[in-house]
Amino acid sequence: MSRFLKVAAVASAAVLALTACGGGDSSSDASGDGGGATVTDAQVDAALQKGGTLTVWAWEPTLKDVVTKFQEKYPNVKVDLVNAGTGDKQYTALQNAIAAGKGVPDVGQIEYYALPQFAIGKALTNLNPYGAESLKADFNPGPWNSVNSGGGVYGLPMDSGPMALYYNKEVFDKYKIEVPKTWTEYLDAARKLHAADPKAYITNDTGDAGFTTSMIWQAGGKPYQVDGTNVTINFSDAGSQEFVKVWQTLISEKLLAPVSSWSDQWFQGIGNGSIASLATGAWMPANFVTSAPAGKGKWRAAELPQWTAGGTASAENGGSSLAVMDKGANKELAYGFLKYANDGDGVQIRVDGGAFPATSKTLADPKWLSTEFPYFGGQKANEIFAKSAQNVVTGWSYLPFQVYSNSVFNDTAGKAYVSGTTLADGLKAWQDQSAKYGNEQGFTVK
Amino acid sequence: MAVATVPRRRRSYRGWQFVGPFMIVFALVFLAPIAYAIYLSLYRNRLIGGNAFVGLDNYTQVLQDSQFWSGVGRVGLFLVVQVPIMLFLALLVALALDSGRLYGKSFFRVSIFLPYAVPAVVAALMWGFIYGSQFGLIGNLNDALGITLPDPLKPSLILASIGNISTWQFVGYNMLIFYSALQVVPKSLYESAAIDGAGQVRIIRSIKLPAIRGALVIATIFSIIGSFQLFNEPAILRNLAPNAITTYFTPNFYAYSLTFSGQQINYSAAVAVVMAVITMIVAYVVQLRGTKDL
């Protein structure tokens, strides 16, 4: 038996030793690249000509064409495009690879809300030494603001999600409902619709962290203030309260379809008219076409209802960037790919494939603006999206641990949707739970 | 003395050569992960400040964690209610099949066992569609009959709904365990019981049940472990009922959420170790009680 125990001890000791190495590694190069040597465009070009292999983790479907064209232009570069899952699933894989110190890709797709978490975890390369700051003018202010974190640029914006109101015109016309211009009118429309047809709802909502934060963003709320490791979370500011007032009424009067977004029931509801509108990002049209074909021709896009009559405020919902991983082997080459895909020729390729761009040039392109959407009955919806993109409220920031925070939204604020808890109390519970986690993780959260 | 020890030593060495390959695999596959989990649970890795040894801090935190205990309470309730119902149904079906008075016996046996062959994830997805109160089967029933059935996915009913899925899935499996145990009972016992004038109920009580007691204990222990490890159903139904199923709904799901959304790997390891200990204690007590005078 003693020998057997020895074997076990050796085996586990080996495992321990391995993990100890992994752990020590990540903290050693903590502030390595902040003041590092600058990399010139010529060096990036040279890397592209010299070639090599790049591993890119992304789920954005139009990147496939970008990679093909990129390899034609730079024949010495071999790009390995891997779909390691969408959103959270990819972040898990990425975080595991970073912790293990092995198998980290050169480039990763990271959504704006998750970017600060990776940046603060020293997982991403600051692109300022590569001259990323000079690209500022090429991008819309909203997405550009989102890739800036703690004085560094940690990715190049790939797409964006300026919000719009999508509505089922057929249903609205049938019950003579005007397209709401303000959220108060939206509330009236919700009442009118549900009274006329008890099976129809103005929209669905079972508690969605991304949607809630976007709505508060549009209302001018700034619940998250981040200054290095000092974080403030406060859902009692004016913007948050304004959202709570309207949404609490929608919940209390049971005017929201109890259907979760992205479920099978949701797409059925979009198709058959029982979910009559959606306020979400400009990336939505492609999903309408593929997953709710029954609604074709019935839906339209409109500007997002306002919190103050006559306003033009908008917010971002979703959107993602490409970032150069700190553990990646060939950073110059990786940056070259980023520039090609998100700032150079790649942009047009992705726009042609149906992606919503983050570059200001595209938003001003008359050809793009006049694109007709068959799903929206030939409406030139890009005009609405472009306007929304320019009116995104500035000054918003996400938490450096937003991925975690969003995951407990339904544990806390979600209670408001299924019990007597009010939304205000729910948000307070969300705030407390997020603050608790932040403090445990070494932040100073107030 | 020296002469005597040498051959004994050689013999033991040869023995190790035979069990060696197994022991290596056993150590790597079973012991190393456990050792690694325990090792992890003694550290704390933070976003700011990095990794540090914290001793038993994570364990103190688990023992005071109301979310963890609410999960334990939930699977405890599940165990006390769902397991007896499921085992009773399985026993009933096994006895009915064994009685030999059932028409189409093998058809029944296969169709009751069939749900077990459906992968757990698929089963949970399927029941998710059935439970849908808007556009699912429940919704369709409400429409067709003009009634309002309670929503099976609301917070107060979700545990019962999950229990229903588990029962549906595992009755057949347990039935098969009981049925095969019953097959081993010598038929001559029944004959002599009949000659003594015993009825069916008496035969079940005095012959069949005592004969399959071992199988009953085994099935109970498997079910206890299964209940404590409840994961698939809540994880999948959460997409449909995000507010009814919290991230700490069951201890296993809590450990999963801690790891994958919060990166709290160390704390999650402590939760897993504590839960393993609780499961072992409960299973061991049941085994002791069940086999006491066997």
How large a percentage of chain B has pLDDT more than 70? 95
Alpha-carbon gap, residue A255 to A277, rounded angstroms: 12
- Residue A349 near residue A69, CB atoms below 8 Å: yes
Tell me: domain A34-160+318-363, CATH 3.40.190.10, correct? yes
Cβ–Cβ of B242/A92 closer than 8 Å?
Answer: no
| B257 contacts on A by Cβ (under 8 Å) | 407
Indicate the number of domains in chain B: 2
How far is Cα of residue B194 from the mean position of the Cα atoms in its chain?
A: 38
A265 to chain B: closest CA residue = B135
Cβ–Cβ of B31/A12 closer than 8 Å?
Answer: yes
Tell me the shortest Cα–Cα distance from B156 to chain A, in angstroms: 10
Cβ–Cβ of B48/A120 closer than 8 Å?
Answer: yes
**pLDDT confidence of residue B10:** 56
Tell me the shortest Cα–Cα distance from A146 to chain B, in angstroms: 20
Q: How many residues does chain A have?
A: 446
Which pLDDT band, with edges at 50, 70 and 90, does B294 fall under? Answer: low
**pLDDT confidence of residue A229:** 86
Q: Would the pLDDT of A10 be above 50? A: no
| B16 contacts on A by Cβ (under 8 Å) | 3
User: Chain A contact for B257, CB < 8 A?
Assistant: yes
Q: Would the pLDDT of A9 be above 60? A: no
**pLDDT confidence of residue A92:** 81
Are B10 and B90 found together in one domain?
no
Are B243 and B124 found together in one domain?
yes
Tell me the shortest Cα–Cα distance from B207 to chain A, in angstroms: 43
Which pLDDT band, with edges at 50, 70 and 90, does A165 fall under? Answer: very high
Q: Who among B48, B51, B129 is closest to A443 (CB)? A: B48
B157 domain residue, yes or no: yes
**pLDDT confidence of residue A142:** 84
Mean pLDDT to the nearest integer, B31-57: 90
Q: What is the mean pLDDT of chain A?
A: 87
| A27 contacts on B by Cβ (under 8 Å) | 50-51
Per-residue pLDDT tens over the stretch A109-131: 999 999 988 888 888 999 999 98
Which pLDDT band, with edges at 50, 70 and 90, does B12 fall under? Answer: low
Mean pLDDT to the nearest integer, B15-42: 91
Are B237 and B160 found together in one domain?
yes
Are B99 and B234 found together in one domain?
yes
H helix intervals, chain B: 2-26, 32-40, 57-63, 66-98, 105-117, 120-131, 137-145, 158-183, 187-195, 200-203, 209-211, 213-228, 232-237, 251-260, 265-290
B51 domain residue, yes or no: no
Are B166 and B271 found together in one domain?
yes
Are B69 and B34 found together in one domain?
no
- Residue A312 near residue A391, CB atoms below 8 Å: yes
Q: Would the pLDDT of A19 be above 60? A: no
Are B138 and B274 found together in one domain?
yes
Per-residue pLDDT tens over the stretch A25-46: 333 333 334 445 688 888 888 8
The separation between the first and the last C-alpha atoms of chain B, rounded to the nearest angstrom, is 43
User: Chain A contact for B60, CB < 8 A?
Assistant: no
Tell me the shortest Cα–Cα distance from A434 to chain B, in angstroms: 10
B6 domain residue, yes or no: yes
For residue A393, give the DSSP letter.
Answer: P
**pLDDT confidence of residue A13:** 40
**pLDDT confidence of residue A212:** 96
Mean pLDDT to the nearest integer, A175-187: 96
**pLDDT confidence of residue A7:** 41
Alpha-carbon gap, residue B101 to A299, rounded angstroms: 61
For residue B31, give the DSSP letter.
Answer: I
Measured over the CA atoms of residue A77, residue A83, residue A88 and residue A89, the dihedral's sign is negative
Q: Would the pLDDT of A17 be above 50? A: no
B52 domain residue, yes or no: no
| A401 contacts on B by Cβ (under 8 Å) | 47
A34-160+318-363 and A163-315+372-445, same CATH topology: yes
**pLDDT confidence of residue B200:** 86
B72 domain residue, yes or no: yes
Tell me the shortest Cα–Cα distance from A296 to chain B, in angstroms: 20
**pLDDT confidence of residue A264:** 82
Mean pLDDT to the nearest integer, A357-366: 89
Q: Which residue has the tokens 């040869």?
A: B14
ipTM rounded to 2 decimals: 0.81
Alpha-carbon gap, residue A301 to B133, rounded angstroms: 29
B32 to chain A: closest CA residue = A12
Task: Pick the residue of B16, B254, B261, B268 with the most A CBs within 10 A to test the interface with A by mutation.
Answer: B261
Task: Pick the residue of A1, A5, A6, A15 with the most B CBs within 10 A to test the interface with B by mutation.
Answer: A15
Please count the residue pairs, one from chain A and one from chain B, whose beta carbons lie less than 8 angstroms apart.
118
B49 domain residue, yes or no: no
Are B111 and B237 found together in one domain?
yes
User: Chain A contact for B53, CB < 8 A?
Assistant: no
Per-residue pLDDT tens over the stretch A377-387: 999 999 999 99
Q: Would the pLDDT of A5 be above 90? A: no
Q: Which residue has the tokens 């060696």?
A: B20
Q: Would the pLDDT of A23 be above 60? A: no
CATH H superfamily, domain A163-315+372-445: Periplasmic binding protein-like II (3.40.190.10)
Which pLDDT band, with edges at 50, 70 and 90, does B165 fall under? Answer: very high
Mean pLDDT to the nearest integer, A422-445: 94
Cβ–Cβ of A404/B49 closer than 8 Å?
Answer: no
How far is Cα of residue B150 from the mean position of the Cα atoms in its chain?
A: 28
Residue B120 is part of which domain span? 64-290
Range picked from A9-13, A26-30, B6-10, B86-90 for highest mean pLDDT: B86-90
More confident site: A341 or A26: A341
- Backbone φ/ψ region at A122: left (φ over 0), alpha (ψ -120 to 50), beta: left
Scanning B20-49 for CB atoms below 8 A from A yields 23-24, 27-28, 31-32, 35-36, 39-40, 43, 45-49
Which pLDDT band, with edges at 50, 70 and 90, does A20 fall under? Answer: very low
- Residue A226 near residue A397, CB atoms below 8 Å: yes
Q: Domain-by-domain residue ranges, chain A?
A: 34-160+318-363, 163-315+372-445
Are B247 and B169 found together in one domain?
yes
A208 to chain B: closest CA residue = B242
Sorted by sequence, the CB contacts under 8 Å of residue A179 that are 6+ apart come out as: A165, A167, A172, A302
Tell me the shortest Cα–Cα distance from B119 to chain A, in angstroms: 20
Cβ–Cβ of A12/B32 closer than 8 Å?
Answer: yes
